[in-house]
Structure 1
Amino acid sequence: MSKEHWDKSFSDNDFVYGKSENAFINETSDLIPDHSKVGCFAEGEGRNAVYLAKLGHEVTTYDQSTIGLEKTKTLASQNNVEVETVAIDLTKEKVRTDQFDAAIMVFGHVPKQSQQFLIESMIDSVKPSGYIIFEVYSESQLAYQTGGPKSVEMLYNPVDILNWIKNYKSIHFYYGEADRNEGKRHVGLGHVIQAVIKK
């Protein structure tokens, strides 16, 4: 998906995925130590970044959509927090290593050939003993029609993800159904892959 695709996607006046954090991030955020430096990957309009900033973390978001990043700034100011935004193509550019105490990604969908690069960049950005937390749609999501990419090429396979994270301590891994009501783009029961690993 191109920068143009995501700019167009986020150009709606509404926050297309809502302003509230993802349920899985809400459930797992207490793992992140107080006053951590957190990187949010493929963060779109910033709902998870702003939530983490409100918890007292120092948050940096990465996305290729400048419109998404502008909406992140707007949402942050509405909530009286600061979030650093970085425009980057996460399928081509690696984020600086060993800088965060934790990293998160919610529904960061990229083509199959770029998925490992994105996940490894996210893991590498975290310092030893830090946490990586993410939730993505699985290939099975196509049958649900409740959000996410319309192509299996943009969805994740659980075996791939297990291979990419196998060298780290797995705290949580889930492959199955989850109910997600996030704005107007994620509505109802879907099929997800969730992971929490410790570096």
Structure 2
Amino acid sequence: MSEATREARWESRFAATEDYVFGTAPNAFLAAQAHRIAPGGRVLSVADGEGRNGVFLAGLGLDVHTVEVAPAAIAKARRLAIQRGVNVQFEQANLLHWAWPEAAYDAVVAIFVQFVTADERPAFFAHLIRALKPGGVLLLQGYRPEQLNYRTGGPSEASQCYTEAMLLAAFAALRIESLHCHDAIVHEGAGHAGMSALIDLVAYRPPA
């Protein structure tokens, strides 16, 4: 699938309904781990979709910057931010070509960012690391290959899923606080609904 086709696919999915495809409540893993982010810290939420996670984090008093490729999703995210009375810096961009800043964020949040192919993934993961300030935290949740058996959301290719060995190798430069594989029922709109094969990562960039 070409990048243009992939972008069009996501735009079409978000534009097809006024409803929030993945709901308006934050991801459960993120909500449980948000206490790790420094109070008032600067946060990057990548591929933030319709804003459920970015808006949640802004509601905690964090300085939130979200990047999303689909204009229809950003429009919904702006509406959600207005409804919740919070300020979020929204940016429309393709993360594969975005000018990633260096050591700019106290936290980087990557929730189900599995649009990235196996070939694209090493550079993408490296960007997540470099964007963190020393001492900053990476909060990442994704699907394991077993998710293809559940068919309750996520990628259609096992190569786009995560394994424990993959994340250990990719984020070896960080201090891994927690790496947890588990199955759980997910309730995130129509897009993620039902028993799911998950993997959660909490990792810190070492202090300078």
Smaller-chain TM-score bracket: over 0.9
1:166 maps to 172
Among 80, 83, 86, the residue aligned to 1:75? 80
Q: Which residue pairs with 1:56 in the alignment? A: 61
Offset, 1:91: 2.3
Equivalent in the alignment of 1:98: 103
Identity between Structure 1 and Structure 2 (%): 28
Aligned residue pairs total 199
| Structure 2 counterpart of 1:128 | 134
Deviation at 1:72, TM superposition (A): 1.2
Residue in 2 aligned with 1:46?
Answer: 51
Alignment of 1:1-199 (within 5 A): 2-11=6-15, 12-109=17-114, 110-199=116-205
Secondary structure in 2 aligned to 1:69? helix
In structure 1, the residue corresponding to 2:119 is in which secondary structure?
helix
The two structures, once aligned, show a CA RMSD in angstroms of 1.2
Q: What is the CA-CA distance between 1:57 and the residue it aligns to?
A: 0.3
Aligned to 2:173, what secondary structure does the other structure show? coil
Per-residue deviation, 1:92: 3.1
Q: Structure 2: how far apart are the matches of 1:123 and 1:62?
A: 16
For the residue of structure 1 that corresponds to 2:147, the secondary structure is helix
Q: Per-residue displacement from partner, 1:134-192 (whole Å, max 9, x unpaired)?
A: 10111111011111112223322332211011121111101221221100111111001
Q: Which segments of structure 1 move beyond 4 Å, counting only runs of 4 or more?
A: none
Shift of 1:117: 1.8
User: Post-superposition shift, 1:76?
Assistant: 0.5
Deviation at 1:94, TM superposition (A): 4.3
Alignment partners' CA distance in 2, 1:91 and 1:156: 18
**Partner secondary structure for residue 15 of structure 1:** coil
Give secondary structure in 2 for the equivalent of 1:35.
coil
CA contact (8 A) 1:91 1:115 kept: no
TM-score by length of 1: 0.96
Post-superposition offset of 1:71: 1.3
Separation in 1 of the partners of 2:147 and 2:131?
Answer: 28
SS in 2 for 1:24: helix
Gapped regions of structure 1 (runs ≥ 5): none
Stretches of structure 2 that go unaligned for 5 or more consecutive residues are: none
Aligned amino acid, residue 8 of structure 1: S
CA contact (8 A) 2:164 2:179 kept: no
